[in-house]
Amino acid sequence: LLDSGNLVLREENEGNYLWQSFDYPSDTWLAGMKLGWDLRIGLERRLTAWRSPDDPSPGELSWGFELHNYPELVMKKGSKKFFRSGPWNGNFFSGMPELQATPLYNFTFVSNNSEVYFMFEMIEKSAITRAVLNQSQSQYERYMWVEEKKEWSMFLNLPKDKCDSYNLCGPYGNCIMGESPLCQCVQGFKHKSLQTWNPEEWYKGCERSKQLSCLDKIGFHKFSGLKMPDTTFSLLNETMSLNECRVRCLNNCTCVAYSNSDTRNGGSGCAMWFGKLIDVRQMAANKEDANSQDIYIRMPASEQAVKNRQKMKVIVIVVVAIAVVFGVLLIPYCICGRKNLRDKMESNIMLDQNIELQSKDLEVPFFSLATIVIATNNFSSYNKLGEGGFGLIYKGTLTDGHEIAVKRLSRSSIQGLNEFKNEVILIAKLQHRNLVRLLGYCIAGDETMLIHEYMPNGSLDSFIFVKSDVFSFGILLLEILSGKKNRGFICPGQGVNLVAHAWNLWKECKSLELLDTCLEDCCIILEFVRCLHISFLCLQQHHEDRPNMSSVVMMLHGESLLPEPKEPASFIGKRLSLSSKNQSPSTNEITVTLLEAR
């Protein structure tokens, strides 16, 4: 029995396995286990659910690959399709974006003349995860072992909603969660019978608004963010470009749609569909998501021409409007430009003369403006890492190859030179594992900049370990959701701080009153409630009740049930007077910034 859980039979002096249990899975999928086909010997590795938790005999629910020209995973109840993954697009299966690489594990998909399989391998060896096919729930479930609680925690389940049901909307139907009715016709199609159409009879699907024949002039309309249709009647050519694929489909009267089979590196390969397009749903909230797989559906040329003319009108109107606005703005800019340039040069001369004197009090190196301009490629937008109320952050590379992060403070700041020097001195003396080290500063004209050590991009759980840090993350998450700062916040009429205020709303089922008004138009309510739930778990009074950061990452990635939070740690704040005479006269704008690499 290997550490992976694979029971193997092998000869004493040879590494080849004569037999292994991973070739005959039951209801559980482990790291290193191939799910799919060995075409050389005709072996299928397919998950089959237990009949019940107490009965390990094979149930009717199964999960494995269907061997089409363009293979995909299919969940079946008996012989009937129940859920379909969609084809692999180079990054993930088009209908299962949840099953893609995380900081804890990655996935591998192989399809050639010898094998077709899908498997996952652990990156973080200390983490333990497994996937199970659940007969009673009719779903695929992924669990993570939580060491603190000595139990398995589910963080992903499929199918995840009603639109995942196989062929719910029928031919040329598009299932869109949140819409009413749930099923819509793909653009260019209509319900089969508008007079007798019943929202409960979605399975009848749609038909073309204008019928096509092989003699008609045709074009293709692009659709983004969709789960690719059932590939039972499809062809795949991995060597063709998208343009070659279009020509091939255009010349074949029975070709209904085409797409790149691989979305990586700008797209490659050719997939073509024949017959009716079924089991389509809207996947991406943003239909122009860079990771989504575009599909081009055959349409009459007349309909395509109308759409093109409408697009052209919009483009012309936008271009003319931009030209007029640009012309109006350009005149005062030219007038003020010369004056601003002269004032800036005079200011630079005066400040540069005092730099040496000013830097004597500071214990960190001074960087010249020329050095920073060269390092950041003249503050190129390509090197921009982020921004906030303090200003912008850029990535830079010094002439010796050392990478830095430049915090360029906003010119609108009321912070004076002395306050800036105090900030430099203070940050230079701070040392903490979660703070990025200050390397130096720059003062030139009206430019004030802090030069930090560059921190490569990564997951927060790589840096946040102890439960006190998790508590701080909970505060940060709560501030993001509410748009309010915890420090100094006192709820009117209640005298409680932000944590206690949020908890009171949670208990009264009024959590949406906490939502930042800036997020109202773009926020998904279920995600907001889940994030608020996670913040309460991070804010528990006793550190042993708080999750570690790796568990928080899994909670944010998945959709599993979360443990019920206890009352979070909070305290009653003093009521603060809003009178201007009680406000602090300080103009110090010291900020604590987490630098995030591109």
Average pLDDT over residues 89-111: 88
Residue 295 has pLDDT above 90, yes or no: yes
Residue located via tokens 């080849």? 16
**pLDDT confidence bin for 137, thresholds 50/70/90:** very high
3-state secondary structure of 417: helix
pLDDT at site 282: 92
Q: Collect all residues with Cβ–Cβ distance below 8 Å to 25 and sequence separation of at least 6.
A: 33, 35, 45, 46, 47, 48
pLDDT at site 423: 75
- Tokens representing 454 are 């560059």
**pLDDT confidence bin for 119, thresholds 50/70/90:** very high
Could you tell me the sign of the dihedral formed by the alpha carbons of 100, 530, 433, 150, in that order? Answer: negative
- Other CB atoms within a 10 A radius of the CB of residue 166 amount to 17
Top-confidence residue, 58 or 469: 58
Summarised one tens digit per residue, pLDDT across range 332-379 is 666 666 556 555 554 454 444 444 444 455 667 888 888 898 888 888
Residue 145 has pLDDT above 60, yes or no: yes
**pLDDT confidence bin for 35, thresholds 50/70/90:** very high
Summarised one tens digit per residue, pLDDT across range 22-32 is 999 999 999 99
pLDDT at site 242: 94
344 annotated as ligand-binding: no
Helices (runs of H) and strands (runs of E) counted in the chain? 8, 29
Q: Kindly report which listed range (190-199, 238-247, 421-430, 557-566) carries the lowest average pLDDT score.
A: 190-199
On the question of a cis peptide bond just before residue 565, with omega within 30 degrees of 0, the verdict is no
**pLDDT confidence bin for 223, thresholds 50/70/90:** very high
What percent of the chain clears pLDDT 90, i.e. is strictly above it?
39
Q: Kindly report which listed range (168-172, 196-200, 211-215, 236-240) carries the lowest average pLDDT score.
A: 196-200
CB-neighbour burial class of residue 373 (10 A; exposed 0-12, middle 13-18, buried 19+): middle
Residue 460 has pLDDT above 60, yes or no: no
Q: How far apart are CA 87 and CA 69, in angstroms?
A: 10
Nearest to 238 by CA among 68, 69, 37: 69
pLDDT at site 378: 85
pLDDT at site 590: 38
pLDDT at site 309: 54
Q: Kindly report which listed range (42-51, 427-436, 557-566) carries the lowest average pLDDT score.
A: 427-436
- Tokens representing 502 are 């949020």
The mean pLDDT value of the chain amounts to 81
3-state secondary structure of 267: coil
Global confidence as pTM: 0.53
**pLDDT confidence bin for 197, thresholds 50/70/90:** low
Residue ranges in 483-590 assigned as alpha helix (H)? 498-507, 525-538, 549-557
pLDDT at site 173: 93
Average pLDDT over residues 186-211: 78
Average pLDDT over residues 142-166: 91
Residue 597 has pLDDT above 50, yes or no: no
Give me the domains of the chain, ranges plus CATH numbers. Answer: 8-160 (no CATH), 173-306 (no CATH), 362-453 (3.30.200.20), 460-567 (1.10.510.10)
Q: How many CA atoms lie within 13 A of 106 on its CB side?
A: 5
Average pLDDT over residues 49-76: 93
Secondary element (H or E) of residue 245 = helix 242-250
Summarised one tens digit per residue, pLDDT across range 416-453 is 677 777 777 777 766 555 566 788 889 887 788 889 88
Torsion of Cα atoms, 323 then 324 then 325 then 330, to 10°:
80
Summarised one tens digit per residue, pLDDT across range 175-188 is 999 888 889 999 88
Summarised one tens digit per residue, pLDDT across range 519-535 is 888 888 888 999 999 99
**pLDDT confidence bin for 595, thresholds 50/70/90:** very low
Residue 536 has pLDDT above 50, yes or no: yes
Residue 289 has pLDDT above 60, yes or no: no
Average pLDDT over residues 470-485: 90
pLDDT at site 579: 37
**pLDDT confidence bin for 67, thresholds 50/70/90:** confident
β-pair partners for 140: 133, 158
Residue 315 has pLDDT above 90, yes or no: no
- Is residue 234 a contact partner of residue 279, using CB atoms and an 8 Å limit? no
pLDDT at site 594: 41
Q: How far apart are CA 345 and CA 57, in angstroms?
A: 83
- Is residue 173 a contact partner of residue 280, using CB atoms and an 8 Å limit? yes
pLDDT at site 352: 47
Q: Which of 53-62, 328-337, 455-464 has the highest mean pLDDT?
A: 53-62
Residue 105 has pLDDT above 70, yes or no: yes
Q: What distances in angstroms separate CA 177 from CA 92, 439, 512, one per listed residue?
A: 21, 50, 21
pLDDT at site 194: 64
What value, to the nearest 5°, has the Cα angle with vertex 67 and ends 61 and 70? 115
Q: How far apart are CA 296 and CA 568, in angstroms?
A: 51
Summarised one tens digit per residue, pLDDT across range 225-276 is 999 999 999 999 999 999 999 999 999 989 999 999 999 888 999 999 999 9
Residue 495 has pLDDT above 70, yes or no: no
Torsion of Cα atoms, 513 then 287 then 232 then 256, to 10°:
140
- Is residue 446 a contact partner of residue 391, using CB atoms and an 8 Å limit? no
Q: Collect all residues with Cβ–Cβ distance below 8 Å to 525 and sequence separation of at least 6.
A: 512
CA 313, distance to chain mean position in Å, is: 34
Residue 42 has pLDDT above 80, yes or no: yes
